[in-house]
Chains A and B, each alone.
Chain A
Amino acid sequence: MNEMYLGQAAFAFYSLIALAGGVLAVSAASLVRAMLGLVVSLFGVAGLYLLLLADFVALMQILIYVGAVTVLIFFAIMLTRASADGGEGQGPGLRGSLRGVFGALLPAGILVPCLAVYGVAGFPTPKNVSPAELGAGLLGPYTMAFELISVVLLAAMAGAVLLAFEKRGAAK
């Protein structure tokens, strides 16, 4: 009985971290602070992955998202910064936030009733899958997806180099 309450408390704690970080990420006036909020939110989601017994996914979340994607975003902020706040100083304004609330409520208005009506009853405790089984899955039934994601990453890398490349002596 005690373990159940502990799990619920941990869920509340991690989801609070994830959502508070998300709120900071969408509302901060400075882009660097918004990125910090994103990092906090990513750590909260990693904690939720741990609660779901998906420990490998949680570690990959920290490695890929916190380690790589936020660094990319930070580079984007630094390389394009026109002013100290990165251009978000005056906020979205009343019309902007109204549009944002409308855009956020539209899918929620569809998905919340779906969740309430068609939500399947889940198990109370998650399954445990070892990283070895994940590796066997990648080399067995899901080889195609594994190869395709490598091709996508290669294409994205080549495309990024091609886009940002500037010929020597070109206009500028």
Chain B
Amino acid sequence: MNPLVFYQTVALLLLGLGLYALVARRTLVGMLIGVELMLNGAGLSIVAAAQLTSADAVLGQLGALLVMGLAAAEATLVLAIVLVVSKRFGDASADAPSELKG
């Protein structure tokens, strides 16, 4: 077995954990934690693939930094959305904003 497969397996397990949290959590913040886990697995997978194969290592590491920047931007926006939802609906559960106005 080569090391790349082990790193990709860890990244895959992080993806699975994040997806589980995204589906099973009741609150928006819990779902956000799951998304962060998934993005972490993505970064690990990118860096492992770039460092352990003949691919461009600079591209891989910069890609992981880009994923981190996107995660920060996404967390900022989700924080604002969670604030708006909890202000309008009283709590931040994912089921709260499920009714259409009409």
Q: Does A3 contact B (CB under 8 A)?
A: no
Q: Are B10 and A159 in contact (CB under 8 A)?
A: no
Q: Are A80 and B91 in contact (CB under 8 A)?
A: yes
| Interface size grouping (class) on chain B | 35 or more
Q: Are B29 and A52 in contact (CB under 8 A)?
A: no
- A1 CB, nearest partner CB in chain B, Å: 16
Give Cα A52 to B50, complex, Å. 10
- B28 CB, nearest partner CB in chain A, Å: 8
Which single residue of chain A is at the shortest CB-CB distance from B84? A163
For A115, the chain B residues whose CB sits under 8 A away are 5, 8-9, 12
Say what secondary structure dominates the interface of chain A.
Answer: helix
| Interface size grouping (class) on chain A | 35 or more
Q: Which of B2, B73, B79, B91 contacts A121 (CB 8 A)?
A: B2
Give Cα A108 to B43, complex, Å. 17
Given A103-B23, A134-B58, A124 and B72 contact (CB-CB distance below 8 Å): no
For A53, the chain B residues whose CB sits under 8 A away are 51
Q: Are A87 and B44 in contact (CB under 8 A)?
A: no
Which residues B18-50 have CB closer than 8 A to chain A?
18-30, 32-34, 36-37, 40, 43-44, 47-48
Q: Are A68 and B12 in contact (CB under 8 A)?
A: no
Q: Are A80 and B82 in contact (CB under 8 A)?
A: yes
- A71 CB, nearest partner CB in chain B, Å: 9
For B91, the chain A residues whose CB sits under 8 A away are 80, 82, 87
For A9, the chain B residues whose CB sits under 8 A away are none
Q: Are B19 and A104 in contact (CB under 8 A)?
A: yes
Q: Are B29 and A77 in contact (CB under 8 A)?
A: yes
Give Cα A61 to B61, complex, Å. 11
Q: Are B69 and A153 in contact (CB under 8 A)?
A: yes
Given A31-B30, A56-B61, A48 and B17 contact (CB-CB distance below 8 Å): no
10 contacts between A and B (CB under 8 A): A34-B33, A41-B14, A57-B65, A86-B29, A87-B27, A88-B26, A107-B16, A115-B9, A120-B4, A122-B48
